[in-house]
Every structure is written in structure tokens, then in C-alpha cells.
Structure 1
């Protein structure tokens, strides 16, 4: 990347470096002079890119140290960004990221929105897998996967609460010969449910109205919907997609 590079492209480059762990929390960012030389950009363009990264909570300015990668970013990656990172690096987690509280169970689908996403009737049986993503010691995302019966019929391993070694749909495609396609990611806001706040470790008064950001992703194969994701971001965090 060089020559007439815009500030948004420069910010995207470093955002991706941070997401992949090439630049880890606490690492010094290149100087603005180095970035100008790397991208052939003006000082105003580089400065604007750095301001964007700081505003997103990805970097911080330290007296005597210049700009560093934030130790505790106020952001968490989207599901789409996580999948892109896995494709690029083979790593399921970013720097200081992990997942806990894994659970899988067969349930009657009582949520009309989920039933519509999976193309099933209300109260049909589905598999619900859930986990909590953490950044260091901070709970960032309560993540839910709602899976159509075709999923566990082909890949019964997903009935276990144990984390999968890789994205289970790869096994599904290999075993069935079907290709899965993800629809565009959708983003919105709503009030959190009490169990979501509990998963995220949010101590809120009973019946408190706590707004949260929610990302929705749905996969289809040739027979229709297969899996629906809902990622619920902790209050005070916002999502970042490195591209």
C-alpha cells in the first residue's frame, strides 16, 4: 500500500494489524514520520488516521512514549472480522482474547425472530450454543448460535458444550457436499435481557433498561437457513470491523 493513500486506508491497515496481534497491547506504534514514508502520505493524512484509531479506543498517547496500542481497548471485533481473521491467520482469537462459559443444549424455539431466521415453526427444536468472549479480564460479547436440525444431524459433535477446533460449518460442508453462504451482517440496538447482562457480568438494578449493540449473522445452504448468530456487546463497548 503506497502512493496517495487515504487516511481511512491507513487506519484500516493498522486496525487489521492490531486485530491480528501483529501489533499487541502495549506495543509502540510507528512514528507518524515512518508512516508517512511507508504510505507516501501527507502529515495531515497520517495525523487524521492516528486520530481515528485513538477515537476508536485502539491506541493511546503516552507521555514520553508516543502512541501505543491500547492495553484495554474499548472495542470488540465483529463476527465477520473474527471469521476474516481466522481465514488470514488460522487463529480463533485476537490478542488477549479468549472465550468462556461454553454451553450447548437442544431447546424448543420460543423466539419468533430466531424461528423466522431459521425458517422453522415456533417451538420446533433447535440447538443453541453460547459462549462469552473476553478481552483480558473484561467480558465483551455474549455470543449465541442457533442451529437448524440439519446441522447436528450432519455434525453431531456440535451437541457437545466443548469448543470446536474449527468452524463447524467446514465439517458440515465436507460431509454433506453443500456450500454455506453468509448473508450480510446486520447491526442494531435493543434492551438487554437479564440473562445476557448476567453472562456479561453487568450488575444492573432489577428491571433496569440497559441498551446494548447486537450483531446478527445468518448462513444458508441450498436447503435454506442453517445457522443464525446473535452477538450482544457489553455496555460501553462498540464493535469494530477491520475492513
Structure 2
């Protein structure tokens, strides 16, 4: 994390948290003050409190767990040497990849490392390298495994629109199930994974049924995965925010609702003031992500239909 001069309040809070951890006031396993309480006690913005928590987390002093919030990291105790067991003897490439997917699903891609997986699988770290060259290959195999386990249907559905809906709804479901996937799938420099390349093949075949120039067809073939990936990146950001702050979207909106209402009531934002029952906590965050995606995809396909 890059710390700037504007982060002085966050650094002061982080220093205070370090002191409480060092003197035992906050014991291993104990939950640290929530971002909401830091906002109230220090008189700072939510973003500042979140940065302070992130600082001590990056230093390894605390860990954020889904459902438990942020707690002081326990000091690991040395364990006695283990004799080779079934997990060690039965180590396989597929097992390592499955373990990586499990860690990424629970804690994000940033938590995946060869050392971490060696602990999960109860093997020596170097033993993993007999099966996988390193983290880059591991991530590539994780990607291929997820898409390989969720292939496009055969035979393909009839009609260009149904085929495109099939491709991009499948991508969306996989992003929702495995949010970390979005970090491994840049649109401009995609990994050469056959399972993913088939999605591009279907897309181009579907677009060939429309009256598009070659240039328009290629643009649409890039715009569609970009549309899905853009929404998936927002989901990833929200997932990380929930993990780091312990606050779901609707809880965060309740915290900022007074400030938001004041801004809206200023008269500068008449359209925002007029949204009525479409409250942010019901239309934003993870709860509303599926509806937003479905709306965006339908509008884009409607636009293609008007040109075809």
C-alpha cells in the first residue's frame, strides 16, 4: 500500500491499533474496533478508517474473516514434524489446483501462494514444484479448471441472440461464483486458454449472423466481454470492501445516509432526489448486481439487434 501525506489520520489510527496489539489490550483472536466505531471515535471518514485497518492488515497484525470481521492475528505456534501421510503421498496437480481455487474463493486471489497451499495440503512447499512451476502456472490452471468444469452447451442454441446470452450469462455466473476470475481475464491480452477461446469463437459465430462490418464485429466481440468484466470488477470491489470492513452494502449505506441525504437535498441533484423507492441499498452492492448485469446485457443486445 502506498502511503501519502494525505493519509496522516489513517496512519495515526494505525499506530494506535499497533500499540493496543503490542501491549496486549487487543489479544490474538480478538476483534479490533470496527470502521464504524473508528469513524465515531476519531471523527474521520469511513475511507480513512478503512485505510487504517488495511495498513495493519498489510503488516500482518490483523486478518479479516468473512462473518467475523477483522481480528488480531494469532501468533502461530511451531508444530512437531509430521510423518508423511496420505495427503503428502497422494499430492497431485489437480489437488493443488483445487486447493488454490478453494483459497481464492474464500479469501481472494491475493491469498493464494505456493507456501499457503503447502499448509493447506500439509506438504513441504518445495513438493508443490514437482507438479506446478509456480504461481503463474497455478493461476492459469485454476482458470482452465473453472471454465473446463462449466463448458458451453452442446449443441449450441439457435439464433445469434440466444447464443450470445448463453456465453455471457455463463461468464457472469462464473464471475459471481469465483470473483477472483476477473483478475485473470484481461480483455485486451487474454490468456490462451482453449476453454475461454471457445467463448470468443461462439461470439464471433453469433455476430456473423448480423449485418456488421468486420470492424464492427470485432468491436462487439471485445465490448461484450468488457461489459461483463466491468460489472464483475465492481462485484470484486464490493466483495473486498465487505471482507475488509465487515460491512455489507446496505450497512454502509445506512452509515452514510445522513451525509448522502444532505447532499441530495441541496437541490444540485434533482434526478438523484427523484429516484424514490429505488434506494441504493436495494439496487447497489452484491444484492443488486445480477439485475444490473441483466439490464446492461439486454440493452447491448437490443442495440445490436437494431443494427442487424
**TM-score range relative to shorter protein:** under 0.3
Q: TM-score, normalised by structure 2?
A: 0.23
Larger-gyration structure (1/2): 2
Q: TM-score, normalised by structure 1?
A: 0.27
Q: Report 1 or 2 for greater relative contact order, CA contacts < 8 Å, sequence distance ≥ 6.
A: 1
Q: Which structure features the higher share of strand residues? A: 1
